[in-house]
Structure 1
Amino acid sequence: MAKDISPLEYRKHIQDFLPMIGLKAEVYTSIETQAWKKHPYSAGLYPHGITNSHRGYLHVEAPTLADLWGELQAKWAEHRDRHRLEVTRKMALAVIRLTTELGECTDAALRTEFDPAEIKSYGEDACAEANAMAGRGPFSIAMKGGANGAPDLEVA
């Protein structure tokens, strides 16, 4: 166990850490009061903000704030590549859609869905992914039917 850090030091670490993830990223830290909890501290990292928690979050627990900070960094390091891939693919689809709708994809148009830090970090990769995706055409829908498929309808 490392030397513990103060709540102010912990907050400073978090404030410096969040912009590297994205402008909407948030961390919520708690002191656990339930007897069944193993450790007294916990933190939840919401890379897309707490209001977008459906897009995923990371949870860690630890006995000290220093350990909690270390656990949070380690958990993010495990998740970072998956996060990058997820954001890059979503941005690539947005680039294709916006280019189709507007004739070009601007950073201003992308900012309705992504924060400027994400655009700066993942934009170049998203454009490469969009080019790869669009090059796989022509596209079609493979009708598989099945148990939840609509019944065959005759078109008059």
Structure 2
Amino acid sequence: MQGLEFYSATTEGIGFLNRESGAITYVHHPEKGITGNRFNDGTCDPAGRFWIGSMALSEETGAGSVYMFEKGKSSKKIDHTTISNGLAWNADHTLLYFIDTPTKSVVAYDYQLENGAISNGRTVISIDETEGFPRRDDHRF
């Protein structure tokens, strides 16, 4: 990645977006054979790895996944998601928080900064249906 390039994820896969030219250079697609899915949410973890969540254009329940991308390869981290809509880490980088909007909950995973491994997923916040749907709109969590 060069100075003006940033990670990008589209229906075409994962690439680097050049902010000056607007060109995207695609380098990988973890769901290449899955038609009807797109990436909905992405952010970098504290170590600079790119995490992206996919979803079905039809919003089919469980059709999406969450991937971690680094060094030209991706690994699936969370399976059977519907609308990936929030990824964030706590201040000491020991927890990953994830929102799958239709579940109306925030799930925390134990997180290992050195390799991006997650484990022990558990619901830490449940949103009452009268309060709407959870999603991450900013960088405060």
Give the alignment's TM-score, normalised by structure 2: 0.27
Pick 1 or 2: higher relative contact order, CA cutoff 8 A, min separation 6: 1
Larger Rg: 1
Return the structure number with greater strand share.
2
Give the alignment's TM-score, normalised by structure 1: 0.25
